[in-house]
Amino acid sequence: MKKKTNFGLKIITINRKANFNYFFKELIEAGIVLKGSEIKSVRSGKVNIAESYAVEKNGEIFLINSHIPGYKQASYSNHNPYAERKLLFNKKEINKLIGSMHEDGLTLIPTKMYFKKGKAKIVIAIAKGKKQYDKRLSKKTRDWNREKARYFRKSS
């Protein structure tokens, strides 16, 4: 019997660094506004969201510092690789995000970018930064789990 897969979902990039540097409070899916040459470049899978974050400007949420390289065939109508890109939320979600950013000192970090039914989507995490001792603890638990797996593999 053929295994059922999730049709219409193609992962473009994952921000692995975010999971190490932040505690996630909540994950929210959003659309992203892209130009023609940007979407062509995204489809080729050359996107970097490792150093990016989202901010509020004039009641809208924008993605800052994400890198989508230029598309070779676009010639004169190519885009700026580090341009600010608008994220598509409804008004209720925007108000919730703005409130949490100002009150609790949380940040908005992109964790994953993918295509869903042909549309580019991005998952934004409401996150709180980890301290240095939190990072050491997560490294320690990760190393311990790796050692434990090795031990069980050798013993069986």
pLDDT at 114 over 90: yes
pLDDT tens, position by position, 32-66: 999 888 888 888 888 999 999 999 999 899 999 99
93 or 103: whose pLDDT is higher?
A: 93
Looking at residue 7, what is its pLDDT?
A: 66
Looking at residue 53, what is its pLDDT?
A: 92
Structural domains present in the chain = 9-130 (2.40.280.10)
Looking at residue 10, what is its pLDDT?
A: 87
Give pTM, 2 decimals: 0.79
Q: H/E/C letters for each residue in the chain? A: CCCCCCCCEEEEEECHHHHHHEEEEEEEEEEECCCHHHHHHHHCCCCECCCCEEEEECCEEEEECCECCCCHHHHHHCCCCCCCEEEECCHHHHHHHHHHHHHCCCEEEEEEEEEECCEEEEEEEEEEECCHHHHHHHHHHHHHHHHHHHHHHHHC
